[in-house]
Amino acid sequence: MVEVAVVGAGGYTGFELLKLLALHPVFKIGRMFGTKSGRIEGIYPGLRGVVEGEIFPAEVEEIGKFELVFLAVPHKTAMEFVPGLLERGCKVVDFSADYRLKRENYEKFYCPHRDPANLEKAVYGLPEFYRSQISTAQLVANPGCYPTAALLGLKPFLPYIEGGVFIDAKSGVSGAGKKLSETTHFCSVNENFHPYNPIKHRHSVEIEEKSGVKVTFVPHLLPITRGMEVSIFARLNSEVGERWNPSEVARQFYRRERFVRVMEQPVGVKQVAGTHFCDLFASRNGDHLYVNVVIDNLLRGASSQALANANLMMGLPEEMGLPLYPSLP
């Protein structure tokens, strides 16, 4: 057994991670840390009798006693912990944006970076593309939820498109986290649907940096709790012939990937809610490409992806403990 530390246990992604760790055959929850004291079953009564325990103040000295650490914390906060944890020999999976981007891009969209040395060492945690690097990493930067879906949809087609890419993305309200705001209030969300931070959203730079293409990215808030749908629109280059089939291209590209499923019909969020799967549909209209991608924003977009990364870092099978069954109906 490997005892792990979970920092930020009281948030939505921390909660999802605890559920996964409770069923993991190797990882064991060693200690939970957070900004608020109390017991985890006091915050989430549904964990009573399943995952129970005290939430301790987040201090590097205590967190650093564990071989593996999950930082389910906001940006800026991760930088306060990572240097000390790496010095103590911990392996760290960071949920925040602090170690995902090149320094100039991070500072443009977030804040001044206080740990540039470790930023250079971090590995981007999208296993389909960085699996070998993740396996030998000490620090893995878990991707954002929108970039996860967008990059999995974009990557198979990069050799075949020209010009910019348009991404119309939609997420459930849980993507905004637990902090209350006017836009995520029930009265604002219920029976409503709207874009937010169009074009200027900070996940756009993450998609651009990891794909190498210019994107126009517009996220929307759906009146649902969980799930994410990303629609990608692009123009195919002149080398693509009439018989070129985007579905076959994607199927061949992901032929060895268990957790990316290429479908023959458009995909919806309900079929992946509660799972680690990314489902993808691709079609074309002449020289126009359309890609439709769905993931669970809290799992594949955060917690189960963090667990997959941790499995690789610890030399375990990537799929160990990952959720497979959708929450239906």
- Between helix 203-211 and helix 145-154 the angle, nearest 10°, is 30
Spell out the residues 6+ positions from residue 56 whose beta carbon is closer than 8 angstroms to its own. 31, 32, 33, 34, 37, 62
Residue with tokens 């690789």: 312
Dmax over CA atoms of the chain, in Å, equals 62
CB atoms within 10 A of CB 135: 16
Q: Is 145 a catalytic residue?
A: yes
- Of residues 90, 111, 145, 187, which has the active-site annotation? 145
Q: Residues 292, 282: contact at Cβ < 8 Å?
A: yes
Distance CA 213, CA 230 (A): 17
Cα–Cα nearest to 283, from 238, 241, 233, 215: 233
Active-site residue list: 145
